[in-house]
């Protein structure tokens, strides 16, 4: 059927054309610009592929890529087809020529303008909507993979008896399809209506019928599809009630059905589903009846029903049935929420046990012995001693330690460990070669006992691994650190340019050339060009410092490497180093999560895992969105030398992990493959523990009535050692809980009643992966409501006269006081608090342990060391409790001593011994041997005392006759 009107007639105006040379130049520039754009896009793709291949996780790249391409193609094509077919159909159904009206005359010029390009306009519109829809669909690659690979949970929700996998894996995909369907129908409806209007099928101001029969039938079918999709939405909304969040009493993240949902919204959704189906049939019936009367009436009734049945009726039920007796009405649903939440967060086996919490000082020596063995009291706080590590063990200013050190275990000893990582800000001469070729890595681990300070050092840690290169208890291992938490820049290694290990004390440099299997080869021109574009650094393309064997290292922090190879995992905020198998390995805890666990209340990970350390020192767990199911399902390692990433299965029963293992087969190794040497360093993750303690502050209550009343709600106390109002962090500590025969490495925290400062509960989890009870949470409810909480204990310490005097004197000397971790240890029906106190003098760059405070019951101990503070509280240890340190194996056997000198000779001998001890101490400091330094200081004190005694004897009056 011909279009209305025609094109303009008359002679064309001649426009001057550019010369052939100009046209050739413009064409050449256009081609070059297009090629440049293509190469930029290719460079991004190529470098990503090379990186994934270098870490041997190319299957992750290809699976993700092909999934995105498939979604883009399928949903882009579907959207383009839907819109294109409806535009074509509307054009095909346009009416024949009719009498011209003012409305049609105004539309003529648009029809005439489009007429020569109708096919191109159609292709352009369909291509545009297809590209947008396809690009949007690619973001659903996780949803698609979880739906197609979903593994049953083996648990059913209490309302609909559907497996949890339906809510976690299926429902999100169905909702995406529904949303896509709505978008396709709405766009098709708009495009069809505009086409009908343009070609006369719809009229707004013209006399006669407003729409032709063909237009009426076409648009009615599209409206019928929209209403049919709304019916599907009503049906899915029924299941959505099981994962719906709302504010309810004690929690703002309540999830699941309540009384009004089960008895008002659920039947309302079912009724609205039926009404929507009938309304959709009425719209489809216009194909035969050619009238809008019944469909419009039906649609109006559906809207009215949605208001009355879906909105007003539930409000009436809530007001007149629930509110008068809410506790009884909601009891059944509260119980379901409690059971689901505790199961979803892995706390369903936690049962509080009563503990009086009020300890009494007892006569005799047994309580002192119990206090000595109750815990390995960590008086070196890893959150404070980092500057001490930096000052004493930095060695070179282009090295640095993290602001928060890590806790690990070596040979049964709680150990503070940090890596000497690269710090380019300390390089004297900054340029491209130094930044990326010379200074490429850190060097060595430094470790100290968590429970001791070095004698004679004024309170510095007792290092068990120190010096450059590092030496000590960790043995022989590869000390170069190419991958670390502070290593964020790219480096080019292994080529003609030598890399600096460190500068020697006497001058000269120790250099190396990277020989690890990590990195991407840069010897080829294609790779060099791609990385020059990807990093916006043209020197990579032509620099002579790059040659055979050159490799580029990037994505070097452990966290970003694990996130890249396993984008379906949520990464813990803290990666920690461990020396395993002659290598430094970064250990990273990773979680599988979902927000589709029915009835389980949600939590926001970023908020739940924040505490007084995450603001400046420790990272917050990456994921900020809400979840209601979490498992520490994967333990990952990153080799600090070659960057090798290894993922190990940890929770073998987690259905979310099994789903992702089906989607990415071969990426996660079985749990049985974890080496025992590595397993000895695995621990319960802090972020998992913080999520669980946040939930247990409310969900330790398992009965609906007290839960509804929030009569026993708890809170995590604020960190009493900090001025900000942030939660106290959990502490790793080896301690012996009531009923245990020996100390166990644990992660601990405390609770106070909501709105009150006194201690309400103590929580600890077995954090040793080698333990049979790993992951077992013990929750001790304090029955005495007058036991001081952490903030009250800190306040008592601040008011204690000896401590107040000590603090006042130091501040008067312009020194800074730093309070270390306030450790809480159950002891003999009470709680023992231990807090190290650090002093940092004016002009000093690092704090030193100065005092230790101990609180038990009403007694406070305050002394130079832990033993002295415990003695003030519990009394002195009996002599038989004192153990003599074993003789060092490399010490020579004790030789017979000469008779002691007397008189002036004794004074001279003492002075000589003092001078020797002082010299030995200076030499020990230079070597970084703090054990030897402590012995030298002891010898110096002993020699000075002998000299003083000898001088006193010389000055005594002659007693002879």
Residue 357 has pLDDT above 50, yes or no: yes
Percent share of the chain, pLDDT over 70: 86
Reported as a single tens digit per residue, the pLDDT across 74-128 is 999 999 999 999 999 988 888 875 545 555 666 666 667 677 778 888 899 999 9
User: 552: which residues sit within 8 A by CB, 6+ positions away?
Assistant: 490, 491, 492, 519, 520, 522, 531, 540
In whole angstroms, give the CA distance from residue 418 to residue 474.
13
Q: How far is CA 430 from the centre of its chain?
A: 33
Residues 680-702 have a mean pLDDT of 94
In whole angstroms, give the CA distance from residue 892 to residue 889.
8
- Let me know: does 818 contact 756? Beta carbons within 8 Å: no
Residue 167 has pLDDT above 90, yes or no: yes
Residue 590 has pLDDT above 90, yes or no: yes
Residue 261 exposed, middle or buried by CB count within 10 Å (0-12, 13-18, 19+): buried
Structure tokens belonging to residue 141: 């690659």
- Among 606, 612, 866, which Cα is nearest to 749's? 612
- Among 794, 788, 787, which Cα is nearest to 720's? 794
Reported as a single tens digit per residue, the pLDDT across 130-162 is 999 999 999 999 999 999 999 999 999 999 999
Helices 20-54 and 558-565: angle between axes, nearest 10 degrees: 100
Reported as a single tens digit per residue, the pLDDT across 908-956 is 666 667 767 766 766 665 555 655 666 776 777 677 677 666 666 655 5
pLDDT of residue 890: 36
Classify the phi-psi angles of 220: left when phi > 0, otherwise alpha if psi is within -120 to 50, otherwise beta.
alpha
961 pLDDT band (50/70/90 cuts)? very low
pLDDT of residue 624: 61
Reported as a single tens digit per residue, the pLDDT across 304-314 is 888 888 889 99
Structure tokens belonging to residue 194: 């505009």
- Let me know: does 721 contact 833? Beta carbons within 8 Å: no
Structure tokens belonging to residue 647: 């993922």
Residues 226-230 have a mean pLDDT of 95
Residues 628-633 have a mean pLDDT of 95
| Tokens 């429970």 sit on residue | 451
DSSP structure class, residue 718: B
Neighbouring C-beta atoms of residue 709, cutoff 10 Å: 13
Q: How far is CA 38 from CA 132, 375, 522, 533, 540, in A?
A: 20, 64, 21, 12, 20
- Let me know: does 856 contact 830? Beta carbons within 8 Å: yes
**pTM of the predicted structure, to 2 decimals:** 0.85
836 pLDDT band (50/70/90 cuts)? very high
Structure tokens belonging to residue 180: 């896509």
Judged by DSSP in three states, 679 sits in helix
> Exposed e or buried b for every residue in 751-786, given b needs 16+ CB within 10 A?
bbbeeebbbbbbbbbbbbbeeeebbebbbbbbeeee
For every residue of 489-542, DSSP letters joined together read: S-EEESSSS-EEEEE-TTS-EEEE----S-SEE--SHHHHHHHHHHTT-THHHH
5 pLDDT band (50/70/90 cuts)? very low
Percent share of the chain, pLDDT over 90: 62
Residue 883 has pLDDT above 50, yes or no: no
- Averaged confidence pLDDT in the chain: 86
pLDDT of residue 230: 95
| Tokens 């306009």 sit on residue | 121
Neighbouring C-beta atoms of residue 308, cutoff 10 Å: 11
Structure tokens belonging to residue 156: 């059913």
C-alpha dihedral over 444, 382, 581, 53, to 10 degrees? -80
In whole angstroms, give the CA distance from residue 222 to residue 52.
46
Residues 57-86 have a mean pLDDT of 96
Residues 775-786 have a mean pLDDT of 94
For every residue of 807-856, DSSP letters joined together read: HHHHHHTT-EEEE---EEEEETTEEEEEEEEEEE-TT-SS-EEEEEEEEE
Strand segments (E) across 344-388: 353-355
- Let me know: does 364 contact 817? Beta carbons within 8 Å: no
Judged by DSSP in three states, 906 sits in helix
217 pLDDT band (50/70/90 cuts)? confident
Residues 277-294 have a mean pLDDT of 82
For every residue of 765-803, DSSP letters joined together read: EE-BTTSTTTT-EEEEEE--TT---HHHHHHHHHHSHHH
Structure tokens belonging to residue 211: 């729409």
Residues 548-555 have a mean pLDDT of 94
User: 54: which residues sit within 8 A by CB, 6+ positions away?
Assistant: 518, 519, 520
In whole angstroms, give the CA distance from residue 533 to residue 541.
9
pLDDT of residue 895: 36
Comparison of pLDDT for 815 and 386, the residue scoring more: 386
pLDDT of residue 2: 42
In whole angstroms, give the CA distance from residue 793 to residue 390.
31
- Let me know: does 435 contact 489? Beta carbons within 8 Å: yes
- Of 16-30, 409-423, 535-549, 781-795, the range with the lowest mean pLDDT is 16-30
Q: How far is CA 187 from CA 118, 122, 183, in A?
A: 19, 14, 6
Residue 603 has pLDDT above 70, yes or no: yes
Neighbouring C-beta atoms of residue 304, cutoff 10 Å: 11
Reported as a single tens digit per residue, the pLDDT across 695-753 is 999 999 999 999 998 889 999 999 888 877 788 999 999 999 998 989 999 999 999 99
894 pLDDT band (50/70/90 cuts)? very low
In whole angstroms, give the CA distance from residue 28 to residue 316.
73
In whole angstroms, give the CA distance from residue 907 to residue 560.
65
- Of 191-195, 402-406, 734-738, 951-955, the range with the lowest mean pLDDT is 951-955
């Amino acid at each position: 059927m011909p279009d209305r009107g025609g094109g303009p007639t008359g002679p064309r105006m001649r426009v001057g054309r550019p010369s052939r040379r100009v046209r050739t130049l413009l064409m050449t520039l256009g081609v070059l610009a297009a090629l440049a754009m293509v190469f930029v896009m290719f460079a991004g793709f190529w470098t990503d592929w090379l990186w994934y291949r270098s870490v041997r996780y190319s299957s992750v790249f290809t699976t993700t890529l092909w999934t995105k391409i498939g979604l883009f193609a399928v949903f882009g094509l579907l959207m383009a087809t839907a819109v294109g077919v409806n535009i074509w159909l509307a054009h095909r159904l346009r009416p024949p020529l009719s009498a011209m009206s003012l409305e049609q005359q105004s539309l003529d010029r648009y029809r005439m303008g489009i007429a020569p390009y109708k096919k191109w306009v159609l292709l352009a519109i369909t291509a545009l909507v297809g590209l947008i829809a396809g690009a949007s669909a690619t973001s659903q690659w996780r949803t698609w993979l979880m739906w197609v690979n979903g593994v049953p949970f083996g648990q059913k929700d209490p309302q609909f008896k559907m497996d949890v996998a339906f809510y976690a894996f299926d429902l999100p995909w169905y909702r995406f399809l529904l949303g896509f369907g709505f978008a396709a129908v709405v766009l098709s409806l708009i495009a069809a209506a505009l086409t009908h209007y343009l070609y006369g099928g719809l009229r707004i101001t013209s006399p006669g019928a407003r729409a032709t029969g063909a237009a009426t039938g076409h648009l009615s079918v599209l409206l019928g599809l929209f209403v049919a999709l709304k019916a599907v939405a009503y049906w899915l909304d029924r299941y959505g009630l099981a994962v719906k969040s709302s504010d309810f009493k004690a929690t703002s993240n309540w999830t699941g059905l309540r009384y009004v949902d089960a008895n008002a919204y659920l039947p309302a959704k079912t009724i609205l589903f039926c009404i929507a189906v009938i309304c959709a049939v009425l719209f489809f019936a216009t194909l035969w009846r050619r009238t809008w009367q019944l469909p419009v009436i039906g649609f109006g009734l559906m809207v009215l029903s949605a208001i009355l049945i879906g909105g007003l009726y539930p409000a009436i039920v809530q007001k007149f049935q629930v509110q008068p007796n809410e506790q009884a009405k909601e009891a059944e649903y509260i119980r379901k929420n409690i059971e689901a939440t505790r199961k979803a967060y892995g706390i369903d086996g936690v049962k509080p046990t009563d503990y009086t919490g009020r300890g009494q000082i007892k006569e005799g020596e047994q309580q002192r012995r119990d206090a000595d063995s109750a815990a390995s009291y960590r008086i070196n706080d890893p959150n404070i001693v980092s500057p001490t590590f930096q000052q004493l063990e930095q060695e070179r200013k282009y090295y640095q330690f993290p602001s928060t050190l890590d806790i690990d275990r070596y040979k049964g000893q709680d150990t503070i460990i940090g890596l000497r990582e690269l710090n380019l800000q300390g390089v004297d001469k900054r340029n491209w070669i130094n930044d990326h070729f010379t200074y490429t890595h850190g060097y060595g681990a430094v470790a100290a006992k968590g429970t001791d300070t070095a004698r004679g050092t004024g309170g510095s840690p007792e290092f068990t691994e120190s010096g450059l290169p590092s030496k000590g208890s960790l043995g022989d291992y590869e000390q170069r650190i190419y991958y670390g938490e502070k290593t964020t820049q790219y480096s080019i290694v292994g080529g003609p340019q030598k890399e600096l290990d460190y500068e020697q004390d006497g001058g000269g440099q120790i250099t190396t050339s990277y020989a690890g299997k990590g990195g991407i080869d840069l010897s080829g021109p294609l790779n060099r060009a791609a990385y020059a574009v990807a990093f916006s650094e043209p020197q990579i393309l032509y620099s002579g410092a790059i040659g055979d064997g050159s490799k580029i290292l990037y994505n070097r922090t452990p966290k970003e490497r694990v996130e890249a190879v396993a984008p379906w995992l949520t990464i813990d905020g803290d990666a920690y180093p461990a020396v395993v198998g002659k290598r430094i390995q970064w250990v990273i805890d990773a979680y599988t999560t979902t927000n589709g666990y029915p009835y389980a209340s949600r939590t926001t990970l970023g908020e739940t895992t924040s505490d007084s350390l995450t603001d400046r020192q420790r990272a917050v767990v990456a994921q900020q969105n809400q979840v209601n199911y979490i498992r520490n399902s994967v333990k990952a390692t990153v080799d600090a030398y070659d960057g090798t990433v290894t993922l190990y299965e940890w929770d073998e029963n987690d259905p979310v992990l099994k789903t992702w293992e089906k989607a990415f087969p071969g990426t996660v190794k079985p749990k049985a493959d974890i080496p025992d040497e590595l397993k000895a360093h695995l621990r319960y993750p802090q972020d998992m523990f913080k999520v669980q303690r946040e939930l247990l502050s409310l969900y330790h209550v398992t009965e609906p009535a007290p839960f509804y009343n929030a009569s026993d709600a708890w809170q995590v106390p604020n960190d009493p050692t900090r001025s900000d109002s942030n939660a106290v962090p959990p502490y790793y500590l080896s301690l012996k809980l009531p009923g245990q025969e020996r100390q166990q490495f644990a992660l601990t925290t405390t609770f106070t009643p909501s709105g009150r400062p006194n201690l309400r509960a103590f929580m600890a989890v077995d954090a040793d992966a080698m333990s049979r009870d790993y992951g077992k949470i013990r929750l001790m409810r304090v029955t005495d409501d007058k036991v001081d909480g952490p903030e009250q204990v800190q306040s008592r310490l601040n008011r204690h006269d000896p401590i107040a005097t000590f603090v006042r004197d130091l501040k008067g000397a312009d020194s800074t006081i730093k309070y270390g971790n306030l450790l809480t240890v159950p002891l003999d029906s009470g709680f023992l608090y231990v807090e190290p106190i650090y002093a940092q003098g004016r002009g000093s760059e690092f704090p030193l342990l100065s005092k230790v405070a101990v609180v038990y019951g009403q007694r406070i101990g305050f002394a130079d060391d832990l033993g002295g503070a415990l003695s003030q509280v519990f009394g002195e240890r009996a002599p038989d409790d004192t153990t003599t340190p074993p003789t060092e194996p490399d010490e020579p056997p004790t030789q017979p001593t000469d008779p002691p000198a007397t008189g002036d000779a004794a004074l001279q001998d003492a002075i000589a011994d003092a001078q020797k001890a002082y010299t030995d101490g200076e030499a020990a400091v230079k070597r970084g041997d703090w054990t030897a330094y402590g012995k030298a200081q002891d010898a110096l004190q002993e020699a000075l005392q002998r000299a003083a005694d000898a001088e006193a004897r010389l000055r005594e009056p002659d007693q002879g006759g």
